[in-house]
Structure 1
Amino acid sequence: MQKKAVILLLTCVLSFLALPSFAISSQDVQIAKGDVTLNGVAVDNQLMPYPLVIYKDITYLPMTWDFSRLLGLTLDFSPDDGLRINPSPASNRQKLTTVDTPETDFNVSLVSYPLIVNGVPIDNTVSTYPLLNINGITYFPLTWAYAVDLFGWHYHYSEASGLQIDPKSDPDDALDYIPIETTFDTIQNIYPLLKVGQLPSRYRTFDSNETLKKYFLRNQGTVNTCWAFAANSLFELAVYKSTGEVVDFSEDHLIHHAPIPVTYDSGGYFKIAAAYYSNGTGPVREADDPYSDDRTNDAAAPQYLLTGYAEIVNDLDETKSAIYNFGGAVASISLNETGLTYFNNANSSYYNNDPESFATHELVLIGWDDNFAPYHFDQKPSSPGAFIAMNSWGDDWGDDGLFYISYEDVNVLKDVYAITDFSAADETTTLYNYNPTGITRYEGYVDYNYATGMNAFTAQDDERLTAVSFYIPEHDTQYTVKLDLVDDGEIDLIDAVSGFIGTKGYYTVHLPKPLLLRSGQTFYVAITLASDYSDFLLPIEGPYPGIDFELTGHPSESFITLDPDRFDFKDLSELYENANVGIRAFTKPVSN
């Protein structure tokens, strides 16, 4: 594509001024007017908490989580290392957060902290259009150098349609297959819980109890299905937060089709639902398989595919970020007949300070209040603050089905989950995997903080390999996706995508471009993981104490090694019967 001698302007004026040595006045910055469309999503710029602005006649874009997700970027900021920005898959399903009273008083300064884009350090002292820090957020000028050369965006401006930015490549480019001998040089860092500026002291996914009661509040009845209701509600909130669509998923179908056998009375936990969502079985709509009607619909069609979840352990700020970014977070407390002794009916509040108690009930956190006072609880925590939780006991319990859980509750922060990514169900996508039940453990090599696992798959048709998913055992884990698509009886892996993942969980990494597979060929997908925090890194579905369900692994499917450049792979079935590595591959037909 030929470059055009143009920069992105809302008012078409060019100036080549030196970087000013004096402080920038807030009067030098104005909110951009006119229509704005990012990746097909209309932006009401007048109601953005961090709007696009005009400075020196140039449009400046804020690097918030919402906008970066729309435009295919990942952000990583620390006070010591500054801001790092790298490419990632763009999402046009992102629902933008708006405010009733937008900020009009701008605190503006030049960016002085380190900033690296696609591995390239940015020298902000020599820019004609410098990077700005406005109210604590980094703002980029929409010049060709940034928008096209560094970020790879397509853009268009006209008085009729306003400013339009599209992060996607040309359609023709997307069909170009990369030769298998080519080594990618692509970094995709994933920080799913990145905060959007300063989180407020009080927040709820919905301001109105009526909205919750009408669309999202459920009643499990007298059976042990809290886990299914919590998981489905979490997915429903994630869909609403991302797309604005209201959905109602079937708990009956989840219970009857879970890959780990459960019943209405057995109980369960979030990862059972996560396996069901990510292996292509569900979720299905409630109308297609109603709850507690003594039958199930085997033919009900899944509506979405789970492609990412974060697992948070004892981290208040990350839990808040999960609620803010994804609509909610699943947590567990001790709320059985004994646990109800910790419930204050008058204030719909709950605080359990017994370290010997264990979690018995899953629910969804949908907000928080840092100022919720200790005197609201029967047992007084040492500090104020409580989560706002949505239960599955109907709207005649608690505060219209909601209640407050102290931050200091002994169980609430132990195991928290957020659905971070999903896609609409697509019959043309083929999912290759050997671990329908998820994973049961992490394997590794003692005294080594890195290892490689690999799966061998056989292409069902002429296809394009588009993405790879896997599980991460620790925060700040380094990964490298490696591929061998030459079916010659030898294993010769090439690096495809690498990066860091900030939070433990399950993630899908998209390849920079699709790779051609021929029907019947064997292809190898490997993942190398490294972490300073654990030797046990490779996700395994395999025998483990307490596992009472069937595993279906076979020889010649999964392999592990300490280092594929120095050691041969070992067939995992020789170490653990019926075990597999938790690596999955996604393909599309060549015709798509």
Structure 2
Amino acid sequence: MRFTRRLAFYVIALAILILVKLNTFGEDYSSVETFRGAQLESDVFYPLIARSINEGHLLKLSLNEEDFPFSPDDVYVNDHLQVMVSPAFLRELFSCSARVYDDSHLFVERGEETVSFYLNQQSAIFGEEIVELTGEPANRGGVIYVPLADVCKMFDYHFRWSSKNYQVKITAEEDAMAVNLPRSYDLRKKSRTASIRNQGSQTTCWAFASIEALESSLLPERKVTFDEKDMVANKPYAYSDQNGGDYTMALAYLLSWKGPVDETGEVAAHVQQARFFNQDDIDDIKWAVYKYGGVSTSIYANVSGANLKDSSYYNDATNAYCYMGSESPNHDVVIIGWDDRYEASNFSNSVPGDGAFICQNSWGTSFGEEGVFYVSYYDMNVGDQGVSYMNLEAVNNYDEIYQSDLCGWNGQIGYNKEDVTAANIYRARGNETVMAAGFYALDKNTDYEIYFVSNCDTVSTLAKRVKVAEGSVKNAGYYTVSFDNGVVVSPGELFAIVIHITTPGADHPMAIEYQSARMEAGYVDLSDGVGYISRNGLDWENVEDKASGNLCLKAYTKRNE
């Protein structure tokens, strides 16, 4: 029996090798050629090829001759050698909204165009037209995937796919790639808003806004209620609830995997990516709402207590608000839509033009329009400290997190120039594979190079670093970057994550935690990691000594069986 199985394995392997050598299957994955008079069985060989591509992460994708990065979880090759993609992939490639309703209906919005895909149906509704697909949408791990070739055709992108060299080449003209946002958009109409909460007399709006934005980012696919009280109770450092908080405190809690906590009291997701905005990023905020869900933001609430009715900047009749003063933000809300045609006359004060963000408050349903109000684009603060939680992952995405910045980002470090090299050294807790690193980009258009150092017993060992990832990010934010290949570490081994980061216009481009004035003493632990920075990548300074702080540079691992 053992010999028979081994023989069968070698026969199949030899057949595949002969096919590859003789090119008996070509670039057209839909055809199967004849080999020595026998028709190759696609249901035998295609699944083998697909499995090899998927397990080896061999698929490559380019857009207009430039590499297009993607997560392996968002793209796979099916048993018919069709390239299948997730809603998350569609959002990035086509600049669209792509959401799943009732576990079976993938609804795509792109400018004025809409597409509805349905599980187990080899047709889609494109606008008002029924379009035949090359394959059925599939449910894989609870995610709906659709044939990429079909979506490209609908949106006038040219698609080429070679199963021989595992290359997907997509090209598109500027007109096809240009997408105009709708003049108005309201997540309430898309079933993509969290329930209205009431913070009462507490100054914990920062937690309410963060939690509501998180919940919105998962809707409509996943309806979950996170606990804002847990965020407040487990904030990263002692700080009176009456002193309020901000998005950096929320991020410290979330990025350290303390939350978000669901109704069972367990951590229900891992935040791995968030984008930041300011009051000048009106269009970018709209895109974030459109693609990912609610965006938390800070405004100045010109009133004492949870009511704007006494404010001269608020029109109670139209639920419209526009603060035109110079006060700093003191209240957080969630942007859930916009209306470019919202008339300036709706505001109680004179504003330069039409347009407003639709914002969800945390003052209960008796406020505004069932808890919602309109904030003018010309408000002095709206959009400031904006956060879009665009990548919540399952809690089993990684097994371990290595970090030394439990208090989160509250300072920057550098050498009065736009680039710096930084390194965090950690001791492995087990036999693991280091899969990714996480860091803050403190402004737009940040470039990064990430390196890894094994057996990093001394600072001089940092010179032996090996590049494991590189790229750039358009927006400020927190990013988790997967390595090109994971690196195995042994129990007790010292390893280093090294990053060279360049942020145009920055003087201190590396995020750190340090003992700030608003913290009670003793919350920054300088013993949970060893960090270094360098002006030139050769000479290193200890961050704990230089700034009494820790680098915001995390590592993520999977345990090896």
Q: TM-score, normalised by structure 1?
A: 0.68
Q: How far apart are 1:145 and its partner, in Å?
A: 7.2
Match of 1:364, SS state, is strand
2:204 aligned with 1:239: no
2:518 aligned with 1:563: no
- Which of 179, 185, 190 in structure 2 is aligned with 1:197? 179
Alignment of 1:262-341 (within 5 A): 262-285=239-262, 287-288=263-264, 300-313=265-278, 314-337=280-303, 340-341=311-312
Structure 2 Cα separation of the partners of residues 72 and 417 of structure 1: 31
Alignment of 1:156-171 (within 5 A): none
Query: How many aligned residue pairs are there?
Result: 439
Contact preservation (8 Å) 1:309, 1:507: yes
Pair 1:85–1:317, CA change in 2 (3 A):
farther
Contact preservation (8 Å) 1:256, 1:263: no
- The amino acid of 1:302's aligned partner reads V
Q: How far apart are 1:516 and its partner, in Å?
A: 0.8
- The amino acid of 1:468's aligned partner reads A
Q: How far apart are 1:88 and its partner, in Å?
A: 2.8
2:419 aligned with 1:443: no
2:325 aligned with 1:348: no
Contact preservation (8 Å) 2:329, 2:381: yes
Structure 1 Cα separation of the partners of residues 386 and 62 of structure 2: 23
Alignment of 1:375-524 (within 5 A): 375-426=345-396, 429-446=399-416, 448-487=417-456, 489=458, 490-491=461-462, 492-524=464-496
Pair 1:151–1:539, CA change in 2 (3 A):
farther
Deviations 1:32-88 (A, max 9, x none): xxxxxxxxxxxxxxxxxxxxxxxxxxxxxxxxxxxxxxx99797xxxxxx7844223
Stretch of structure 1 that moved more, 216-225 or 468-477: 216-225
Q: How far apart are 1:576 and its partner, in Å?
A: 2.0
Percent sequence identity is 24
Structure 2 Cα separation of the partners of residues 488 and 535 of structure 1: 31
2:209 aligned with 1:230: yes
Structure 2 Cα separation of the partners of residues 326 and 486 of structure 1: 40
Structure 2 Cα separation of the partners of residues 421 and 514 of structure 1: 21
Structure 2 Cα separation of the partners of residues 393 and 250 of structure 1: 16
Deviations 1:466-515 (A, max 9, x none): 11000111100110001111356422111111111111111000112221
2:228 aligned with 1:251: yes
Q: RMSD value over aligned CA atoms? A: 3.2
Structure 2 Cα separation of the partners of residues 197 and 146 of structure 1: 33
Structure 1 Cα separation of the partners of residues 391 and 178 of structure 2: 17
Match of 2:312, SS state, is helix
Contact preservation (8 Å) 1:483, 1:524: yes
Match of 1:143, SS state, is strand
Q: How far apart are 1:541 and its partner, in Å?
A: 1.1
Pair 1:83–1:330, CA change in 2 (3 A):
farther
Deviations 1:244-301 (A, max 9, x none): 111111111111111133454331112211111110111111x34xxxxxxxxxxx32
Structure 2 Cα separation of the partners of residues 315 and 226 of structure 1: 22
Alignment of 1:116-265 (within 5 A): 139-144=157-162, 148-150=166-168, 197-207=179-189, 216-240=195-219, 244-265=221-242
Structure 1 Cα separation of the partners of residues 60 and 179 of structure 2: 19
| Paired position in structure 1 for 2:5 | none
2:63 aligned with 1:86: no
Match of 2:290, SS state, is helix
Match of 1:246, SS state, is coil
Pair 1:133–1:381, CA change in 2 (3 A):
farther
Contact preservation (8 Å) 1:231, 1:273: yes
Structure 2 Cα separation of the partners of residues 145 and 382 of structure 1: 56
Structure 2 Cα separation of the partners of residues 265 and 197 of structure 1: 44
Give 5+ residue unaligned stretches, structure 1: 15-70, 76-81, 106-129, 153-194, 289-299
Structure 2 Cα separation of the partners of residues 272 and 245 of structure 1: 25
Contact preservation (8 Å) 1:87, 1:151: no
Higher relative helix content: 2
2:521 aligned with 1:542: no
Contact preservation (8 Å) 2:312, 2:348: no
Contact preservation (8 Å) 1:259, 1:437: yes
- The amino acid of 2:343's aligned partner reads A
| Paired position in structure 2 for 1:590 | 560
Structure 2 Cα separation of the partners of residues 558 and 310 of structure 1: 25
Pair 1:72–1:416, CA change in 2 (3 A):
farther
